[in-house]
A and B are shown apart, each in its own frame.
Chain A
Amino acid sequence: MNETIALDVAGVSHSYGSRKALDDVSFQVEQGQFCVLLGPNGAGKSTLLSLVTRLFAMRHGSISIFGHDVSRQSGEALRRMGVVFQARTLDLDLTVAQNLIYHAALHGIGRAQTRTLAASVLARVGMADRASDKARDLSGGQMRRVEIARALLHAPRLLLLDEPTVGLDMQARTDILAYVRRLVQDDQIGVLWTTHLLDEINNDDRVIVMHKGKVLDQGLARDTIIRHGARDIKDAFAKMTGSEPLGLGAAIENVL
């Protein structure tokens, strides 16, 4: 068992009826690595995250988190992972602190310990002063920060974020991205960040390019660009897929 491999996805395929959503997908995320899963809508990113989080059952292939197989040792796997879903999943009727207490309870962490942990993670995302506010009263960016704090509450060593910046304004996007990058740097947490937004990728990031359920390329962004003789990652993506990436192009226009 290699303890530095935070997430190991090996030969995973998944179909909805006759439609193949994932086709023999394999990649790894190491501890202390910021890894971007890049693909347009419909590339299979959400299906993959549903498999990693055990929402769907694995049919072909295997996924393990720090050596714990998600299907066979799901408890051990899930407790080592924090997830920020694309949809907003805070309970709007509860306060920020109550949301955290509930999450901690789901991990078997009692009240007294939660108080200390909650203060720590909220301070880290700059939300310590909002603990007793209702989640409903937060802005989109603040909710995301609380969701990240919540995902970190049980001290996971792997963090999954499913399109975490969708629907946020530019400032909030920049803040969240910078925060998560710092988390990787300071705490050596492994991060899998899914996105269809090319401007979130740095040249030093590890990028996994997905298209129509397949992994087309993986490696450092700068290497990917060189490998495909491209000007930038957008150009590289266009060359890989043989066309202008519709989802990506449209997404960028929406953002800019």
Chain B
Amino acid sequence: MSAASPPAISPPESIDFAPGFTFRHYAVCMRGIVWREALRFVHQRERFVSALVRPLVWLLIFAAGFRSVLGVSIIPPYQTYVLYEVYITPGLMAMIQLFNGMQSSLSMIYDREMGNMRTLLVSPLPRWFLLTSKLLAGTLVSVMQVYAYLAVAWFWDVQPDSNWGYVAILPALLLSGFMLGALGMFISSAIKQLENFAGVMNFVIFPMFFASSALYPLWKVREGSPWLADYCNINPFTHAVELIRFAFYLQVNWVSLAVVLGCAIVFLTGAIYAYDPAKGMLARKGG
């Protein structure tokens, strides 16, 4: 650009500044946020590959190794003995979403450090809507990852009793992905620097994943340690796993549904509160 050259085209004048925002403004905004998240995901192939490889390593190696060690008796929703790979598949679906939620949280902290977060937050639309849209975008990405994993698992003979199971898990996955994403978002608001994220791995992901029904049924845990089983029972991740597990077999686990829904609302409210300039932690910390 040369300082002497005149502007090529006159300024845009066609923006409507009628007061307030219409449904269309909201719809366009949400679609834009989802579209950007999807583009980023497509561009980051390593992220997609690692999201797929992680559960497959568990399925193909860990589950095969433990198949003979861990016998799974008939517990709902199963109506017969199942192989260990079949048992842990819903847990691995939830694991994909857990990692994805934490990955989104990581990218929010990164965005904040790099300044990208500001682009989102200076949108004139309400902040709760922006955060909820971002959460929805992350959830949709995690659902795509789960289906990619299920496609591979299908070749490994890990399949639901009915193909409708693939459809029935969709609402369960949306809800659990939303809850885990909201948790990640809430955590991201509390972490100021990227370096502190390693702590999240140790204090959130591992305790949530291992102290749950993802890898072993709770009655088995109770045999070893009753208090641990109690802890697993109150772990929201257990309920995300069970919600998906039951849905995969065309059943509804009402308790898990209530817990996941309740936690999703609590985490989202916490995240919106934390990102609210008037109340949250951003202003206090100056960043």
A contacts, CB < 8 Å to B: 16, 47, 53-57, 71, 74-81, 83, 85-89, 91, 93-94, 98, 101-110, 113, 116-117, 119-121, 123-128, 145, 152-155, 174-175, 178-179, 182-183, 186-187
Q: Are A179 and B32 in contact (CB under 8 A)?
A: no
Which residues of A have CB within 8 Å of B20? 75
* Cβ-defined contact, A102 with B282, below 8 A: no
A117 vs B14: C-alpha distance when bound (angstroms): 9
Q: Is B152 an interface residue (CB 8 A)?
A: no
**Among B9, B35, B277, which residue has its beta carbon within 8 angstroms of that of A54?**
B277
Which positions in B face A, CB cutoff 8 Å? 1-3, 5-15, 17, 19-22, 24-26, 28-29, 31-33, 35-36, 39-40, 43-44, 114-116, 118-126, 130, 276-279, 282-284, 286
Docked-complex contact B12 and A120, CB < 8 angstroms = yes
Q: Are A186 and B7 in contact (CB under 8 A)?
A: yes
**Smallest CB-CB separation from B4: which chain A residue?**
A178
What are 11 A-B pairs with beta-carbon distances under 8 A? A53-B121, A56-B283, A76-B124, A85-B118, A94-B36, A105-B32, A106-B120, A116-B14, A120-B11, A120-B12, A124-B8
* A-side contacts of B8, CB under 8 Å: 123-124, 126, 128
CA distance A123 to B40 in the complex (A): 26
Whole-angstrom distance between the Cβ of B135 and the nearest chain A Cβ:
16
Are A83 and B122 in touch, CB under 8 angstroms?
Answer: yes
Cβ–Cβ < 8 Å partners of A81 in chain B: 122
Complex Cα distance A53/B122, Å?
A: 6
Chain A residue with Cβ nearest B23? A108
Q: Is the CB of A108 within 8 A of B24?
A: yes
CB-based nearest B residue for A145: B1
Q: Chain B at the A interface: mostly helix, strand, loop or mixed?
A: loop
In the bound complex, do residue A78 and residue B123 qualify as a contact, i.e. CB atoms below 8 Å apart? yes
Q: In the complex the two chains form, is B2's CB within 8 Å of A175's CB? A: yes
Quote the shortest CB–CB distance from B141 to chain A (angstroms).
14
Q: Is B39 within 8 A of A121, CB to CB?
A: no
Assembly CA distance A54 to B283 (angstroms): 10
Q: Let me know if A75 and B115 touch, CB within 8 A.
A: no
Contact B11 A174 (CB under 8 A): no
Q: B126 contacts which chain A residues (CB < 8 A)?
A: 75
Given A85-B115, A182-B7, CB of A105 within 8 Å of CB of B33: yes
CA distance A183 to B283 in the complex (A): 33
- Least Cβ distance of A10 to chain B in Å? 18
Q: Which of B15, B22, B276, B286 contacts A154 (CB 8 A)?
A: B15
> With A and B bound together, what is the CA distance between A66 and B22 in angstroms?
21
**A87 and B36 contact, Cβ closer than 8 Å, known pairs A175-B3, A179-B1:** no
B278 touching A57, Cβ below 8 Å: yes
Among B7, B21, B114, B278, the residue within 8 A (CB) of A108 is B21
Which residues of chain B come closer than 8 Å to A91, judged between CB atoms?
36, 40, 116
Contact status A155-B13, CB under 8 Å = yes
Closest 5 CB pairs of A and B: A105-B32, A108-B25, A87-B115, A178-B3, A126-B1
State whether B2 touches A108 (Cβ < 8 A).
Answer: no
Please measure, in the bound complex, the distance between the C-alpha atom of A64 and the C-alpha atom of B277, giving whole angstroms. Answer: 17
A88, A102, A186: the one within 8 Å of B36 (CB)? A102
Q: A80-B17, A104-B32 are in contact. Are A155 and B11 (CB under 8 A)?
A: yes
Report which of A47, A78, A187 forms a contact with B124, defined as CB distance below 8 A: A78
Chain A minimum-CB-distance residue to B285:
A16
CA distance in complex: A6, B69 (Å): 72
Residue numbers in A under 8 Å from B5 (CB-CB): 126
**Cα distance A54–B286 in the bound complex, in angstroms:** 13
The reply to whether A120 and B9 form a contact with Cβ atoms under 8 Å apart is yes
The interface residues of chain A lying within 8 Å CB-to-CB of B14 are: 113, 116-117, 155
Contact partners of A116 in chain B: CB under 8 A: 12, 14
Q: Nearest chain A CB to B16's CB is how many angstroms away?
A: 9
The residue that A102 contacts in the complex, of B9, B32, B44, B124, with Cβ under 8 A, is B32
Q: Are A124 and B121 in contact (CB under 8 A)?
A: no
Supposing A126-B5, A155-B12 touch, asked if A105 and B31 sit within 8 A by C-beta, the answer is yes
Nearest CB on B from A53, distance (A): 5
Which B residues are in CB contact (< 8 Å) with A54? 121-122, 277
Which residue of B has the minimal Cβ distance to A95? Answer: B39
Report the minimal beta-carbon distance from B76 to chain A, rounded to whole angstroms: 44
List residues of chain A with CB within 8 A of the CB of B25.
107-108
The residue that B12 contacts in the complex, of A56, A74, A121, A126, with Cβ under 8 A, is A121
A70–B91 CA distance with the chains assembled, in angstroms: 46
CB proximity of A96 to chain B, nearest CB, Å: 14
What chain B residues lie within 8 Å of A102 (beta carbons)? 32-33, 35-36, 119
Whether the pair A98, B114 counts as a contact (CB closer than 8 A) is no
Complex alpha-carbon distance, A182 and B121, angstroms: 28
What is the bound-complex CA distance between A95 and B123, given in angstroms? Answer: 20
Taking CB atoms, residues of chain A closer than 8 Å to B278 are 57, 71
Nearest CB of B to A163, in Å: 12
**Shortest distance from the beta carbon of A147 to any chain B beta carbon, whole Å:** 10
